[in-house]
Amino acid sequence: MNLILLGPPGAGKGTQAKKLTDERGLVQLSTGDMLRAEVASGSALGVEAKKIMDAGQLVSDAIVIGMIDGRTDKPDTAKGVIFDGFPRTVAQAEALDAMLAKKGKKIDAVIELKVDDAALIERISGRFTCAKCGTGYHDKFARPKKDGICDKCGSTEFTRRADDNAETVKARLVAYRQQTAPILPYYQAKGLLHSVDGMAAMPEVAGQIDRALDGVKG
Ligand code: AP5
């Protein structure tokens, strides 16, 4: 089964993708994570991408389409993929359909996480990650069991994303509304779109996604 998780910054795409990965054995492909890995590596692409990401704008379609094309050739994607943060423009959605068709694959469902802007800003401003194993936390909604210690690996080092500041978040929300939201009618017209209430608590959102996927063949 190949799924897309669609929603504004902070909607919970990464949170729900990790849960689906654990429970269904699908591979999470996050273009945001791939771009952050390029930035961390100091590659030419990473240096270019960092400027755009720090401004809250979208990296070029050609770059992210190329990254996803290469990644969906890998054998671990055979059982299915969760696309997290991709596609983000109608051009990326069209390219994804064409790329999957060439590989004899298709998108089986698109899950839209609907969340109010005020909640998005609260979620993004409280988010932090274990610097060692990448487990995600939140100051209010998902604290480690023992303050300052990662539940999973015991590390005491945590990081916050450079683009999780008030000014960049505003630009990311504008980019979502102007460039990404137009994808919704594209998938609605194909009968693939399932909208869930992303304002609910994390387990309830997961339950809504499970119920939406129950009727999906893939
Ligand atoms: P990307 O990394 O994709 O970021 P994003 O879309 O802005 O999404 P986030 O990762 O911020 O949020 P999320 O929805 O995953 O929320 P999360 O689960 O963490 O992209 C970053 C940048 O890279 C872009 O701005 C762009 O520049 C570039 N880029 C990436 N892909 C691109 C593409 N395809 N094309 C062009 N450019 C691209 O949750 C947030 C917090 O809320 C967490 O702390 C979590 O614990 C908490 N939380 C989650 N669910 C709930 C809940 N139900 N209730 C309470 N708290 C919750």
Nearest-angstrom CA–CA distance, 5 and 17:
8
| Mutation to probe ligand 1, out of 15, 59, 129, 159 (largest number of atoms < 8 A from CB) | 15
**Does residue 58 line the site of ligand 1, with CB under 6 A?**
yes
User: Sign of the CA dihedral 29, 111, 115, 175?
Assistant: positive
- Tell me the two tokens of residue 213: 């996927």
Nearest CA to ligand 1 atom 50: 12
Pairing of strands 3-6, 81-84: parallel
Sheet with 136-138, side-by-side order of all strands? 136-138, 127-130, 158-159
User: Residues with catalytic annotation?
Assistant: 13, 88, 127, 161, 172
Peptide bond into 8 cis (omega under 30): no
Ligand 1 atom closest to Cα of 84? 3
- Tell me the two tokens of residue 141: 């909604």
pLDDT at 61: 97
pLDDT at 53: 97
The SS3 call for residue 41 is: helix
DSSP 75: G
Cβ proximity of 133 and 152 under 8 Å: yes
Cβ proximity of 39 and 50 under 8 Å: yes
Q: Which residues are 113's β-sheet partners?
A: 196
- Tell me the two tokens of residue 48: 């270019």
Q: Could you tell me how far CA 142 lies from the centroid of its own chain? A: 18
pLDDT at 182: 96
pLDDT at 189: 98
Q: What is the pLDDT along the chain (218 residues), one digit of tens a residue?
A: 999 999 999 999 999 999 999 999 899 999 999 999 999 999 999 999 999 999 999 999 999 999 999 999 999 999 899 999 999 999 999 999 999 999 999 999 999 999 999 999 999 999 999 999 999 999 999 999 999 999 999 999 999 999 998 889 999 999 999 999 999 999 999 999 999 999 999 999 999 999 999 988 77
pLDDT at 217: 77
* pTM, two decimal places: 0.94
DSSP characters over 84-111? ES---SHHHHHHHHHHHHHTT----EEE
- Tell me the two tokens of residue 71: 């990644």
